[in-house]
Amino acid sequence: MKSEVARAAAWDCAVVGAGAAGLVAALFAARGGARTIVLEAKEKPGAKIRISGGGRCNVLPSVVELADFHTSGSTHALRNVFATWPLERVREFFEDELGLALYVEPDTGKVFPKSDDAGEVLERLLAALHGAGARLECGAKLARLERLDPAASDARATTEVAPGSRPRFRLSADDGREFLARTVILATGGLSVPKTGSDGHGLALARELGHALVPTHPALVPLFSADPRFAGLSGIALRVRLTAKRGDRELETRENDFLFTHKGFSGPVVLDLSRHVTAPDASGVRLCAHWLGEHRVDYDELLRRGGKKTVGGLLREELPRRLVAVLCARAGVDPERKASELSRERRQALLRELVDCELPLAGDDGYRTAEATAGGVALEELVTKSLESRRVPGLYLCGEIVDVVGRIGGFNFLWAWVSGRLAGRSAASASLLASES
């Protein structure tokens, strides 16, 4: 009587997760000659691709630097991964190989499909995937991932397996289906936007297999305000230089658009730095804003030379009226007071609000709206030239499950594409080498 394992179909490569990283990993594994299957928990693939960029899908950034990404691990290792597929080659892949016309948004440098349709991005990827011969199984949420003893008699599948090869893994879906594979790629994502299927089950599987995890927390997430006066500024958007600080040490500074919401603070610059205050070790971390103003004036000089003009009148030439009222109130300054009548103490208090305004924070919107997950499987757990696990031979990890997070603007998609391709190519090479040996 055949065992359950022997009755299961065996594959060269099984990819868990049909998001951005998983689809590209499967595509390149199949192109590399590996018999490839993709297991997706949801009923449809590419949920995050569909909703990204407000339905437009910010496929890539137009320019990239290593500083656009954060990892708790080695930046040298991260550089090596990105070197395997430079940005210009990734863009050529989408435009020339997938036939997806792209354009750069002038104001932001973000790269979008000319159709402004995220659905087209997904359709092109799926067409390429099927064209390469890979199989996609939706509604197959992975419940267990087991390593098989290669010497065991039941580890040899009797169907759909190359002669002389033995699968290393058994994958059990929660509906009872089982799959055997020589290599497995975990591309299950992190915890952000759980309605898309990112519920952390891949992280749990990685932990069960012995991998060290960097504590996870929301990234690219809106923040809540502890000062109700800021709630009245909802809808105001302006350019800001924002700095994350711990004590007197500056952790990171970014300049970009800032948006006041009815709950607090958002906009690209807030999202980019939000990971600093959502981290488990965020005690003592502050976000401080320099409200740049319409003409980027020197506020100290502006107030000193203001003469008989009112403080509010001077500042309203640079900043929105409602923001001026709140900043003056926080500094204890009457906006109708003449600039020349300000005491040194009040001037300094107002200057702090203008150029080093500590945002009063009261938490964040959590994974529900976070665009990415910080933390995950430590980069040191992987062989960076292949993204193979150092602990589990034949297992590869890519995308958001790994402790790498990028800025807003297509950077996390870039990581997904690059890491997915590397994992897919590596898994294909390993599985084919195993069949030859």
- Above 60 in pLDDT, residue 116? yes
Q: Give the number of other Cβ atoms within 10 Å of residue 181's Cβ.
A: 33
pLDDT digits 0-9 by tens, 279-329 = 999 999 999 999 998 888 999 999 999 889 999 999 999 999 999 999 999
pLDDT digits 0-9 by tens, 249-273 = 999 999 999 999 999 999 999 999 9
Q: Which pLDDT does position 295 carry in this prediction?
A: 87
Choose among 32, 128, 136: nearest CA to 430.
32
Q: Which pLDDT does position 4 carry in this prediction?
A: 45
Go through the chain and tell me how many residues it has.
Answer: 437
- Above 70 in pLDDT, residue 110? yes
Distance in angstroms (rounded) separating the CA atoms of residues 24 and 93: 11
- Above 60 in pLDDT, residue 437? no
pLDDT digits 0-9 by tens, 341-379 = 999 999 999 999 999 999 999 999 999 999 999 999 999
Choose among 188, 183, 134: nearest CA to 18.
188
Strands, E, within 378-426: which ranges? Answer: 382-383, 388-389, 395-397, 405-406
Q: Give the number of other Cβ atoms within 10 Å of residue 270's Cβ.
A: 29
Q: Give the number of other Cβ atoms within 10 Å of residue 394's Cβ.
A: 21
- Above 60 in pLDDT, residue 173? yes
Q: Which pLDDT does position 159 carry in this prediction?
A: 35
pLDDT digits 0-9 by tens, 183-201 = 999 999 999 998 888 899 9
Q: Which pLDDT does position 160 carry in this prediction?
A: 41
Q: What residue spans of 140-226 are helical by DSSP H?
A: 201-208
pLDDT digits 0-9 by tens, 22-41 = 999 999 999 999 999 999 99
pLDDT band for position 9 (cuts 50, 70, 90) = low
Structural contact between residues 272 and 280, judged by C-beta atoms closer than 8 angstroms = no
Q: Which pLDDT does position 422 carry in this prediction?
A: 99
Question: Residue 16 burial (CB < 10 Å; 0-12/13-18/19+)?
Answer: buried
Distance in angstroms (rounded) separating the CA atoms of residues 20 and 410: 12
Average pLDDT along the chain:
93
Q: Which pLDDT does position 158 carry in this prediction?
A: 32
Distance in angstroms (rounded) separating the CA atoms of residues 366 and 194: 11
Q: Residue 266 is inside which H or E element, if any?
A: strand 264-266
Domains and CATH numbers, the chain: 4-218+374-436 (3.50.50.60), 223-364 (1.10.8.50)
- Above 80 in pLDDT, residue 150? no
Q: Give the number of other Cβ atoms within 10 Å of residue 423's Cβ.
A: 34
Choose among 393, 425, 428, 420: nearest CA to 404.
420
- Above 60 in pLDDT, residue 164? no
Provide the token pair at 352: 């702090």
> How does 304-334 read in b/e, with b if 16+ C-beta sit within 10 Å?
eebeebbbbebbbebbbebbbbbbbebbebe
Q: Mean pLDDT throughout 212-217?
A: 98
**End-to-end distance of the chain based on CA atoms, in angstroms?**
29
Distance in angstroms (rounded) separating the CA atoms of residues 350 and 157: 73
Distance in angstroms (rounded) separating the CA atoms of residues 327 and 325: 6
Q: Which pLDDT does position 293 carry in this prediction?
A: 85
Q: Mean pLDDT throughout 139-145?
A: 95
Residue with tokens 């500083």: 67
Q: Which pLDDT does position 31 carry in this prediction?
A: 98
